[in-house]
């Protein structure tokens, strides 16, 4: 019996389960950071983007991403993923690799849900999920992980700061922009109003689940349970970046707002996780802490810029956390990689390759998702009516009340 093969297989399946559990984390973050009248709708979107994505990615998307390379741009079509992928040199069964990649695809798709929350038609979101998992994510993934042109240049994105998180973040930017802000978000003079979520407790639970799941997301990308030293290093860099991201975001908000902001600090932890994902295998422990510290700046000022300057309504901060931190983290590999990074005497070559990859994937995702969201808007419509938005999507889209047994308490003070 090949014990190495068995250990690798078991580890990748465990990591797959951890990454799948991140769907629950995204659902809790998005639900907690938005209003109670839309909770069921958000849960349904997180359930269905994984369900739709799993089927579509198995049927076509996996082949586009990992099929035989065609011109460095796309993999060959392989209906139902039945082909031979021996050229990948896998140390686990193909089915194990397929399900591992499936949960990554679903992560990219679900990021958009939070940014477009509380005003998107459910059927329109299903259409978006279908096409992102069918072609938009797989093509970007092929460039980076499937033997495409970026991988040939030496572009390094170990677990998906760009391949997964920036793709989701840029799609969120376009979707929220085309969709428009929630009712009451902006005053006539353009100043934003805060629309508090209904449960910081749920939001915090979601962040802890995501942090936990990231120990499958990054170390699992080794695809080997035998690489114990590398796995330990990745566990440490992942955790250190998240911790420093949370700590320094708390300190920044304490200084900037006069009090430590809970929701922004939670996003700071996520920003640190997203940013270190690209280089978690090749940055030092100190480099991971620095990435988390800088990610806290990206999260805070990125979310403020999107909200106040671009006037794009992102209820959960997905654009700043995933789009901007994903891009920053990928770029930081060119600075902080212990082998080839600029600050380690490696020159600017890797830095330029990283920058090119960030820009190329951003251009691909922004352009294709703009066409997709515009097409949806012009056909079936992207946004619910004002009455539906005011009443809440739980009732209007699903005929339910997520908190039907909860009654408001009124305190009478004599």
Model confidence pLDDT, tens digit, residues 3-36: 788 999 999 999 999 999 999 999 999 999 999 9
pLDDT at 270: 98
**pLDDT exceeds cutoff 60 at 63:** yes
pLDDT bin (cut points 50, 70, 90) of residue 228 is confident
Mean pLDDT of 257-265: 97
Mean pLDDT of 82-100: 94
Cα–Cα distances in Å, from 80 out to 59, 328, 376?
4, 35, 26
Cα–Cα distances in Å, from 31 out to 46, 185, 207, 389?
10, 18, 12, 16
Mean pLDDT of 355-383: 98
pLDDT bin (cut points 50, 70, 90) of residue 2 is confident
* Closest C-alpha to 315, from 44, 29, 123: 29
Mean pLDDT of 284-294: 98
pLDDT bin (cut points 50, 70, 90) of residue 353 is very high
Q: What is the DSSP string of 155-207?
A: ---SS-IIIIIIHHHHHHHHHHHHH-PPTTSB-TTS-B-----S-HHHHHHHH
Residue-wise pLDDT for 102-158, tens only, equals 999 999 999 999 999 999 999 999 999 999 999 999 999 999 999 999 999 999 999
CA angle 48, 37, 47 (to 5 degrees): 10
Of these ranges, 102-106, 227-231, 406-410, the one predicted with the greatest mean pLDDT is 102-106
pLDDT at 226: 87
Residue-wise pLDDT for 196-206, tens only, equals 999 999 999 99
How far is 199 from 321, CA to CA, in rounded Å?
Answer: 20
Number of H helices, E strands in the chain: 17, 2
pLDDT at 412: 41
pLDDT bin (cut points 50, 70, 90) of residue 1 is low
Mean pLDDT of the chain: 95
Q: Could you tell me the two tokens for 37?
A: 């009248």
Helix, strand, coil share (%) of the chain residues, nearest 5: 70, 0, 25
**pLDDT exceeds cutoff 60 at 409:** no
How far is 253 from 74, CA to CA, in rounded Å?
Answer: 43
């Amino acid at each position: 019996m090949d014990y190495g093969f068995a250990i690798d297989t078991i580890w990748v399946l465990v990591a797959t389960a951890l990454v799948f559990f991140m769907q629950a984390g995204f659902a809790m973050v998005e639900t907690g950071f938005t209003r109670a009248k839309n909770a069921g709708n958000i849960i349904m979107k997180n359930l269905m983007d994984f369900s739709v994505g799993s089927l579509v990615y198995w049927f076509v998307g996996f082949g586009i991403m990992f099929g035989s390379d065609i011109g460095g741009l796309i993999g060959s079509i392989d209906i139902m993923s039945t082909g031979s992928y021996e050229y990948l040199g896998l140390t686990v069964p193909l089915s194990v690799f397929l399900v591992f990649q499936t949960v990554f695809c679903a992560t990219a798709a679900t990021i958009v849900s939070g940014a477009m929350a509380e005003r998107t038609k459910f059927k329109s979101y299903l259409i978006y999920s279908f096409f992102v998992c069918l072609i938009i994510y797989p093509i970007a993934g092929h460039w980076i992980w499937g033997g495409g042109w970026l991988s040939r240049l030496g572009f390094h994105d170990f677990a998906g700061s760009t391949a997964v998180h920036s793709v989701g973040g840029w799609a969120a930017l376009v979707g929220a922009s085309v969709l428009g802000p929630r009712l009451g978000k902006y005053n006539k003079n353009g100043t934003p109003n805060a629309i508090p979520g209904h449960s910081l407790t749920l939001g915090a639970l979601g962040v802890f689940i995501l942090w936990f799941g990231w120990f499958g997301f990054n170390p699992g990308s080794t695809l080997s349970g035998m690489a114990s030293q590398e796995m330990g290093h990745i566990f440490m860099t992942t955790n250190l970046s998240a911790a420093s991201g949370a700590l320094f975001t708390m300190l920044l908000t304490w200084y900037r707002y006069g009090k430590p902001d809970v929701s922004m600090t939670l996003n700071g932890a996520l920003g640190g996780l997203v940013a270190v994902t690209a280089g978690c295998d090749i940055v030092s422990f100190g480099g991971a802490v620095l990435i988390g510290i800088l990610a806290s700046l990206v999260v805070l000022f990125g979310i403020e810029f999107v909200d106040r300057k671009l006037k794009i309504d992102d209820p959960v901060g997905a654009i700043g956390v995933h789009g901007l931190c994903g891009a920053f983290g990928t770029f930081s590999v060119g600075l902080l990689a212990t082998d080839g990074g600029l600050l380690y005497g490696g020159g600017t070559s890797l830095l330029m390759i990283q920058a090119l990859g960030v820009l190329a994937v951003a251009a691909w995702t922004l352009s294709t998702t703009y066409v997709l969201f515009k097409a949806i808007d012009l056909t079936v419509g992207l946004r619910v009516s004002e009455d539906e938005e005011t009443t809440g999507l739980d009732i209007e889209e699903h005929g339910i009340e997520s908190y039907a047994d909860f009654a408001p308490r009124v305190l009478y003070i004599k």
